């Protein structure tokens, strides 16, 4: 049985709009939030940084240069300064608190991109436990999040995932025992969010899925934009797809349901 955490209570497979559907709309933007809502999706995958005065902002890069008409590191700017920037859709960057309030039907999968964002991010997550899952490539950052807010859903970090892949090569019963006894994230995390492969090494395998499911962990795969690959992964039994083309993913799910 998969995790009973309220964040993942909807039936699989789940669709996560990666940055709100970055190949269909301006990523991590107000337009992306509207796009996700319009498609009827529930899960919005995003990234956050914090301003100099502690405001958590939906934004992938540490600076504003690529996505807005303004330059500068978000961590060096106040929210007042960041709010004056405009993206290609004509909107200002979005505060996470604002997104949570304005889109109550959405659940947010959030990659904590910077140390400075942790404290205000965890505070917001604790007030929205059913709607937030926190992610990071950093195992140490995730460990601090879990220590501060064990009730908040988290995915696994790079080293934790590598350990899961290695352990999954054991027979399932042994693998489950080893993971439970030697990998704290096996019981502390809510899900794995993984690429199909890493540096040529397969990550998403039947063995990994079996181990994750035996531990009650959902497996969400990123970033999947090819319809044939979506079908293959769904047939394999993954619990969710993270995609830049949510409109395409919805069509794939609809065709499978017919």
Q: How far apart are CA 152 and CA 188, in angstroms?
A: 10
Each residue of 203-255: pLDDT tens digit?
999 999 999 999 999 999 999 999 999 999 999 999 999 999 999 999 999 99
Residues of the chain with pLDDT > 90, as a percent, come to 98
Q: Which residue's entry shows tokens 């590191």?
A: 73
Q: Does the annotation mark 91 as catalytic?
A: no
Each residue of 44-95: pLDDT tens digit?
999 999 999 999 999 999 999 999 999 999 999 999 999 999 999 999 999 9
Query: What pLDDT does residue 4 have?
Result: 86
State the catalytic residue, choosing from 5, 18, 35, 49.
Answer: 18
Please report, for the chain, the start and end positions of each structural domain, with discontinuous segments joined by +. 6-257
Q: How far apart are CA 132 and CA 160, in angstroms?
A: 20
- CA triplet 185, 186, 187: central angle to 5 degrees? 90
Residue 37's pLDDT band (boundaries 50, 70, 90)? very high
Q: How far apart are CA 86 and CA 66, in angstroms?
A: 11
How do beta strands 43-50 and 56-58 pair? antiparallel
Query: What pLDDT does residue 189 have?
Result: 98
Phi-psi category of 257—alpha, beta or left, where left has phi over 0 and alpha has psi -120 to 50? alpha
Each residue of 114-139: pLDDT tens digit?
999 999 999 999 999 999 999 999 99
Question: What 3-state DSSP class applies to 57?
Answer: strand
Q: Does the annotation mark 38 as catalytic?
A: no
Tell the CATH topology of 6-257: TIM Barrel (3.20.20)
Q: How far apart are CA 236 and CA 50, in angstroms?
A: 38
CA distances from 248 to 40, 95, 225 (A): 13, 28, 8
State the catalytic residue, choosing from 35, 38, 59, 60.
Answer: 60
């Amino acid at each position: 049985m998969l995790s009973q955490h309220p964040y993942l209570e909807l039936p699989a497979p789940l669709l996560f709009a990666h940055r709100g559907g970055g190949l269909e709309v301006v990523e991590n933007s107000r337009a992306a939030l509207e796009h996700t809502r319009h498609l009827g999706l529930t899960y919005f995958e995003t990234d956050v940084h914090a301003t100099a005065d502690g405001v958590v902002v939906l934004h992938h890069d540490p600076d504003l240069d690529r996505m807005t008409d303004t330059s500068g590191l978000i961590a060096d700017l106040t929210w007042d300064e960041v709010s004056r920037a405009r993206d290609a859709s004509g909107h200002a960057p979005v505060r996470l608190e604002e997104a949570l309030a304005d889109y109550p039907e959405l659940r947010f999968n959030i990659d904590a991109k910077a140390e400075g964002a942790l404290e205000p991010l965890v505070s917001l997550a604790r007030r929205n436990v059913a709607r937030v899952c926190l992610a990071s490539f950093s195992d140490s950052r995730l460990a601090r999040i879990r220590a501060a807010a064990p009730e908040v859903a988290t995915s696994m970090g790079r080293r934790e995932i590598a350990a899961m892949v290695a352990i999954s090569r054991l027979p399932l019963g042994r693998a489950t025992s080893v993971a439970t006894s030697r990998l704290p994230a096996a019981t502390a995390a809510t899900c794995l969010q993984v690429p199909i492969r890493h540096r040529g090494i397969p990550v998403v395998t039947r063995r990994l899925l079996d181990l994750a499911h035996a531990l009650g962990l959902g497996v969400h795969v990123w970033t999947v934009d090819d319809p044939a690959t979506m079908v293959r992964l769904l047939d394999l039994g993954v619990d969710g797809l993270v995609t830049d083309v949510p409109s395409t993913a919805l069509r794939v799910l609809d065709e499978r349901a017919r």
